[in-house]
Amino acid sequence: MPIVKTVSRAVSQLLQSSGCGCGISLVPVRCIGVSPRQVASDASFHSVSFSESDHPRVLITGGLGQLGVGLAKLLRKRFGKNNVILSDIRKPADNVFYSGPFIYADILDYKNLREIVVNNRITWLFHYSALLSAVGEANVPLARAVNITGLHNVLDIAAEHNLRLFVPSTIGAFGPTSPRDPTPDLCIQRPRTIYGVSKVHAELMGEYYHYRYGLDFRCLRYPGIISADSQPGGGTTDYAVQIFHDAIKTGKFQCNLKPDTRLPMMYIDDCLKATLEVMEAPAEALSMRTYNISAMSFTPEELAQEVQKHVPELLVTYSVDEVRQAIADSWPMNFDDRNARRDWGWKHDYDLPELVTTMFSFLGSDSRIAQAN
């Protein structure tokens, strides 16, 4: 096991000898309806009680990104609000802060992260902290620190405390020498972005820790994820989110990819469902630790045509970003996800028409949409 196990024993002994091993969290968790002073003085907040004792205790890192808030909502509905802690290094919006426990967690601060896991009896960890593709290319040192060094901290802590660990991968884990149509689970992976390299690294390190230390590591390769709940965050596939916002606000959309650039995509509800399903799947059902998942594949032109059924006057132009286009041209056009469908019953719900209709049902209160419909 990692050296941190030895450190863990020493720290545990020190806490017990100093009278601090009382099970009360010293981490400032926000629980709705309970003041910080009450939390600090009430040991039952962190003790096993009622039916929640049967559920996992969940920590989500990087929780204010595109997927974390939605995942927290899904998991809280399933496991109980107080069993799911959302974390990030940024200040959350009020609606996020008051929806359930939120905590400051910096994945580059090993000691802080380890304290959170111990003090809150975490059993499942969803590691979403990462810099996305285009943002990572603009700041490689920061991407290397967050995506790789942060991962190492999470792996060591997860192995030390026997956590079930989920780390998302991505279409960006493939490169121009990978088969693109379709891309299987196992093939050549030679990405040309720091984001992609870090994701291949995460896949391999997670599998290594599984076989070397018995870590219950689980990973899905996400396609481009489309959500109405968050703004685009610097990813190459973010055009597929931006088009809806621009269609409603201005009726004009300028795409930074070529019109015939085909990429695999997925609506966020399918993505979150797949994430929960693979985490709940029996270990013996998993023939591998990293799976492709897919729902649909489309081009900017095909998406624009579907959007124009709701906003006929939408004007679409193309101004190609060479960096993003080069990234997209190295990525899969279609995912082969037969292993996920066979092993743990993965099945998507949203195809392109349902995706577009659903996005406008969340975003489309504008009079332009109402008139079009």
110 included as an active-site residue: no
The confidence score (pLDDT) of residue 272 equals 97
Task: With a cut of 80, say whether residue 247 has pLDDT above it.
Answer: yes
Least confident window among 48-52, 91-95, 292-296: 48-52
Model confidence over 86-124: pLDDT tens digits? 999 999 999 999 999 999 999 999 999 999 999 999 999
Is the per-residue pLDDT at 76 higher than 70? yes
Tell me which of 128, 195, 209, 350 is the catalytic residue. 195
3-state SS, the chain, equals: CCCHHHHHHHHHHHHHHCCCCCCCCCCCCCECCECHHHHHHCHHHHCCCCHHHHCCCEEEECCCCCCHHHHHHHHHHHHCHHHEEEEECCCCCHHHHCCCCEEECCCCCHHHHHHHHHHCCCCEEEECCCCCHHHHHHCHHHHHHHHHHHHHHHHHHHHHCCCEEECCEEHHHCCCCCCCCCECCCCCCCCCCHHHHHHHHHHHHHHHHHHHHCCEEEEEEECEEECCCCCCCCCHHHHHHHHHHHHHHCCEEEECCCCCCCEEEEEHHHHHHHHHHHHHCCHHHCCCCEEECCCEEECHHHHHHHHHCCCCCCEEEECCCHHHHHHHHCCCCCECCHHHHHHCCCCCCCCHHHHHHHHHHHHCCCHHHHHHC
Q: Name the CATH code of domain 130-372 (choices 3.30.70.20, 3.40.50.720, 2.40.50.100, 3.30.450.20).
A: 3.40.50.720
Per-residue model confidence (pLDDT) at position 232 = 67
How much is the average pLDDT of 367-371? 40
pLDDT of 38 higher than 50: no
Residue-level pLDDT at 32: 37
Reported confidence tier of residue 6, pLDDT bands at 50, 70, 90? very low
